[in-house]
Structure 1
């Protein structure tokens, strides 16, 4: 295997001890390599299987990562294995165990993590999607430390979960401090409010790095954070810390040796930052969905006075695409895998039409109006806002399965009914239109703003409007009518929106003052399934009302 050989060649230095012998301790003057392996944003991808389309998916899977982990451990006897969060939610496999399995079922991700010998996993924002009872029950069933230093018990500065772990490697004390993005206070407010509070990542890092250095005699400090390196914060909440604080921790906190990051689904490797105390801080972020195993290698040297310092870093992400699944992980998860396959392939309705989201962000489409129709029916709202989460989804003619709907609506959002003014609706549409830049691309199509996530381009049903993309953002709504009459600024409407949007996700500040008329604490995806099961047969004519268009 080329991967194994590259590590073997890189590590072959006969002058350096390998610490292969049990009980080996780093002596003054010695240098050893420590390999820190990492996964991030696994989101339920335990097996290399696409449960939406019921087929193999070679690019992802913790079962493939396990094969790489074995290879690294053969080369590097001194190693740690970490996960930087978002593992409890994210695909039909994860949601089956959260919503359909019994209370006695251990979520297979954690079963596999235990089997693979992970040293720690951190809590990501999506760990709170299914409520604290489910999360805490799963943690209690696991042998692996689940950490999060900046998650506090309500109205205290007491961490609700272990803030860090200490691992001794070849006589070197390595501290792993866990941190998560504070955004859960916004995105999962109904599930965490009154129970948990989320502290600023940088401030908490400073507190606990100092603690592990001073009180735990840590020689090396790793920050395991469900946070990106940097980037805009997608929520507005006074006194709530930044969403992506990784760079600030690395550059502004003394005593940090390595950042292991997640949340933004990016791959970051071969990067070092200059720390506040002048030390070199390594950075690794291994993508999403178990697409890569990140490996950061640190050279640990013990000086003559007994102190340990990091003499150098390297880091690289290794894709799993051409790697075989680990047979032990396949065997361990086979029964769970088959249960989920049986569930997601179950048909829920029939259709004579073809439904596709390919053009859903460029024109009004029946597949998005299916979501809108359900949201309006459940809430009784006049209007509904929804996004095309995945433009590759399509189904019909023929059976519509649970997997089809999971792909159409992959997030565990609940539903809100708000009261909005005409002025707020206009501001909403102007804001969401920033998904597009002014002008067209080489094909003559609207030019997409790559810094604006597609899930933050909402479309509104029940309101007739035109977005003129030839105009600058803030001046693009040229038509906005309700029942063939122009909408006044002070006119009020009831609007169905998902919980992510209602709680501030995506920077839709105009919703902050919109009165909440009703909260429906059920998954929108489940509501769509119930709607289809009830109808049995569905066509475009049942939901489609063309009410908006782009001009470009």
Structure 2
């Protein structure tokens, strides 16, 4: 018998096949996934198990609008319920809108929601279920749900109060042997990825515990298949003979694993396995799925197209890399918004990806939300001059020189682009000299016309993700936060534009990058 597993992960609230910046149909989205999944289920010759591996309720203008409007989160999760998903796993971005919203989302799902390694004070799964056992045509299939343990480095402490995030390896070592005793097949669905090269075993990132997939498959025996996510990678392979998939993001692929099972001396065992990624781009979006959100989609378009302000000059981004090495008016604008909202005299922000187009002559909410893609709030941290310099040295590492050209360091593009971890500051004057050794590249650092003293105390406004050390910026931490601005950054941008309906596209070139 052949058992087919179908996985989605990191769909990030994309239902219709749109990136929301234009009218062109894109090759992703839950509606396309739904159409392809119907086809795959019809083609399957045996039982089918469907897994939703997390990061669904945050990430798109649609999910943002639902979270900030009067619509219940159930309106967003309805398309996933219609997929007929057997099991859900929490992702890290499920926490972004707070614990109450997360619990509301969990309650809206029709299938079990798993997170074995998030524990309460009693050492039990905080969200109720660690695993589920599905019975398909007489075969018992255990699904263990795991989540990246790194969430405390990104979320506000209040959101995760009373939770302990355990290593997935430690958790799996406890659960997998027990599940082998009660189930015929044991699979793991992990909202996390791989910390090492899948072939050589060489580390591909700092071994912080954010991703533990490689260690899991080398230290825990008894796993028949592994479903992953979080890194937005496209993976279909075998590691130690175990089939593994990771289906990209926004619903561009479905991860597919087929396990062929046979009965051997009364025991069911896997005799063959295959892993594949199934693209959905060629599918027409499922009309029933689109219909679920049609009324909200109309509201959303009206909301996105509302004008907020006008630009004098040019604030468009045509060269994302150029905007990182020479200050761009859009970056200066975001920093100015952060400084105005916080009262801080120094601000840091990033150009999160290479898809943002900046602002045209008229700024709409669509422009704001497709450029500033995360639901960040702000925090002001008090640090020393030495800690600020350390942060700048770290951000300098995201740049490199190749053939006399400044590029984004390839080490931070593969396996997952980390454009969001390269920060650009306003309120200080600094120079990054890439000719110098790592750790000595900040050759000039001045504040208010004077060299920054290493023991000097400075207040800096950054997003909350960075303020608690996100992106491995260990010089920042929650204990250095002196105040928080508990308003979503998108709203702060909109409010700033209401107060300043005409803005000038200027950049004071307060930082310089030398190659």
TM-score between both structures, scaled by the size of structure 2: 0.93
CA contact (8 A) 2:468 2:478 kept: no
Give the drift of 1:183.
Answer: 1.5
Query: Secondary structure of 1:500's partner?
Result: helix
1:40 maps onto 2:16 in alignment = no
Give the drift of 1:513.
Answer: 8.4
1:185 maps onto 2:152 in alignment = yes
- Give matches, 1:519-538, under 5 Å: 519-538=484-503
Q: Which residue of 1 aligns with 2:199?
A: none
Structure 1 unaligned blocks of 5 or more? 1-31, 275-279
CA contact (8 A) 1:356 1:395 kept: yes
- Give matches, 1:187-266, under 5 Å: 187-214=154-181, 217-231=182-196, 242-266=209-233
- 1:289 maps to which of 250, 255, 280: 250
- 2:291 maps to which of 316, 331, 347: 331
- 1:379 maps to which of 342, 365, 379: 342
1:340 maps onto 2:300 in alignment = yes
- 1:138 maps to which of 87, 98, 105: 105
1:440 maps onto 2:406 in alignment = no
Q: Which residue of 2 aligns with 1:272?
A: 238
Give the drift of 1:545.
Answer: 2.6
Give the drift of 1:514.
Answer: 6.8
CA contact (8 A) 1:233 1:243 kept: no
Give the drift of 1:75.
Answer: 1.6
Q: Distance in 2 between matches of 1:333 and 1:311?
A: 43
1:403 maps onto 2:371 in alignment = no
Q: Distance in 1 between matches of 2:225 and 2:441?
A: 45
- 2:483 maps to which of 507, 515, 518: 518
CA contact (8 A) 2:19 2:26 kept: no
Compared with structure 1, are the counterparts of its residues 262 and 431 closer, same or farther at alpha carbon in structure 2 (3 Å cutoff)? same
User: Which stretch of structure 1 is more off in the superposition, 90-99 or 476-485?
Assistant: 476-485
1:449 maps onto 2:418 in alignment = no
Q: Distance in 2 between matches of 1:365 and 1:105?
A: 36
Query: Secondary structure of 2:324's partner?
Result: coil
Compared with structure 1, are the counterparts of its residues 308 and 513 closer, same or farther at alpha carbon in structure 2 (3 Å cutoff)? closer
CA contact (8 A) 2:397 2:438 kept: yes
- 1:298 maps to which of 255, 259, 264: 259
Q: Which residue of 2 aligns with 1:92?
A: 61
- 1:461 maps to which of 421, 426, 433: 426
Per-residue displacement from partner, 1:342-373 (whole Å, max 9, x unpaired)?
22122111223221343221111110111111
Q: Distance in 1 between matches of 2:345 and 2:424?
A: 14
Give the drift of 1:233.
Answer: 9.5
CA RMSD of aligned residues (A): 1.9
CA contact (8 A) 2:192 2:230 kept: yes
Give the drift of 1:248.
Answer: 1.8
Q: Which residue of 1 aligns with 2:127?
A: 160
- 2:24 maps to which of 45, 49, 56: 56
CA contact (8 A) 1:153 1:159 kept: yes
User: Which stretch of structure 1 is more off in the superposition, 34-43 or 132-141?
Assistant: 132-141
CA contact (8 A) 2:238 2:275 kept: no
Per-residue displacement from partner, 1:121-178 (whole Å, max 9, x unpaired)?
1100000000111111122122122111111124533442311111111211001110
1:485 maps onto 2:450 in alignment = yes
Q: Which residue of 2 aligns with 1:314?
A: 274
Compared with structure 1, are the counterparts of its residues 421 and 514 closer, same or farther at alpha carbon in structure 2 (3 Å cutoff)? farther
CA contact (8 A) 1:38 1:294 kept: yes
1:148 maps onto 2:115 in alignment = yes
Give the drift of 1:397.
Answer: 4.0
Structure 2 unaligned blocks of 5 or more? 197-202, 413-417
CA contact (8 A) 1:54 1:345 kept: no
Q: Distance in 1 between matches of 2:191 and 2:25?
A: 25
Give the drift of 1:395.
Answer: 4.6
Query: Secondary structure of 1:118's partner?
Result: coil
Per-residue displacement from partner, 1:304-353 (whole Å, max 9, x unpaired)?
x2211111111111222222111221222222322222221221112232
Query: Secondary structure of 1:446's partner?
Result: strand
Structure 1: 4+ residue segments shifted above 4 A: 231-236
Query: Secondary structure of 1:529's partner?
Result: helix
Q: Which residue of 2 aligns with 1:69?
A: 37
Q: Distance in 1 between matches of 2:478 and 2:154?
A: 17
Query: Secondary structure of 1:263's partner?
Result: coil
Query: Secondary structure of 1:447's partner?
Result: strand
Give the drift of 1:220.
Answer: 0.4
Q: Which residue of 2 aligns with 1:546?
A: 509
Q: Distance in 1 between matches of 2:113 and 2:10?
A: 15
Q: Distance in 1 between matches of 2:509 and 2:224?
A: 55
CA contact (8 A) 1:387 1:456 kept: yes
Q: Distance in 1 between matches of 2:360 and 2:210?
A: 42
